[in-house]
């Protein structure tokens, strides 16, 4: 029984020397990945949503052919013909 305890202690000591830095490296890699995804969600996606929203507003403003909208009002002459 004593030999198994010694073997277990050797495995633990071996892991602390070799395995622990590998685990720490993997964890830090995962944290960096999730931080990148969080930054994308927080910074990039809302800006893209605003841009697409403004594009849709502009499409609505200019998509009414023959109707009265801001563009047609600016092109009308001052004097009736």
Q: How far apart are CA 20 and CA 12, in angstroms?
A: 10
Q: What is the structure's pLDDT at 60?
A: 63
pLDDT for residue 46: 86
Domain ranges of the chain: 2-61
pTM for this structure? 0.49
Which pLDDT score, from 0 to 100, does residue 54 have?
A: 85
1, pLDDT greater than 70: no
Q: Tell me the torsion sign for CA atoms 38, 42, 47, 49.
A: positive
Each residue of 7-57: pLDDT tens digit?
A: 999 999 888 888 888 889 999 999 999 999 999 899 888 888 888 888 888
What's the pLDDT score for residue 5?
92
Strands (E), the chain: none
């Amino acid at each position: 029984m004593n030999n198994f305890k010694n073997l277990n202690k050797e495995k633990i000591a071996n892991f602390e020397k070799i395995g622990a830095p590998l685990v720490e490296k993997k964890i830090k890699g995962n944290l960096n990945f999730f931080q990148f995804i969080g930054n994308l969600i927080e910074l990039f996606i809302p800006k893209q949503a605003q841009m697409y929203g403004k594009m849709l507003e502009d499409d609505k403003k200019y998509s009414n052919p023959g109707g009265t909208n801001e563009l047609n009002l600016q092109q009308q002459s001052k004097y009736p013909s």
